[in-house]
Amino acid sequence: MSLINRFYDDFRNFFAHHFPKVFAFCNRRKALVKFFISGGIAGAVDLAVLFILHGLMGWGILLATFWAFLISFVVSFSLQKLWTFRNYSQKHLPHQLIISFSAAFISLNLNGLGMHILVNNLRVWYLFSQILVNIFLGVINFLTYNIIFRQTKENENNN
């Protein structure tokens, strides 16, 4: 983990030196910025795994989508827990995994529902609809993850 932390510190120092105003703005909202960076990385992993499994290896779309979702969930959970919210404890890991996976599963279903309503009922362009739904779900997921990892961290500090 020290290599990752060193890379992160070097990046922060570079960013602070070359873009001080942007750095100050982002630093005040660092959990939110990290949350969206982590989500972007997990989204890229999802697309890459889907492309590899379905596009290159010829797996069926449902099986490839399932594995892409599962792998991107592990990436997202790890980044959110360890980097965004700096929660290194293993004490509540099973509980955090269950709650996080439930939140991801609910988000997946809300995404489908939101897209159906916006595209099929309201006739909003599908890419713009996905942006709107992702922003809405991003805010909801940020609040959810914030509660999951902060509560367990506070509980451990009180024990």
Residue 32: the pLDDT is 86
pLDDT tens-digit map of 78-103? 998 888 888 888 888 898 899 888 98
d(CA 53, CA 45): 12
The terminus-to-terminus CA distance of the chain in angstroms comes to 26
- Which residues, including other chains, have CB under 8 Å from residue 30's CB and lie 6 or more apart? none
The boundaries of the domain holding residue 63 are 2-158
pLDDT in tens, 59-74: 988 888 889 889 999 9
| Mean pLDDT over each residue of the chain, to the nearest integer | 86
Domain count, the chain: 1
DSSP string, 109-139: HHHHHHHIIIIIIS---HHHHHHHHHHHHHH
Q: What is the chain's Cα-based Rg?
A: 18
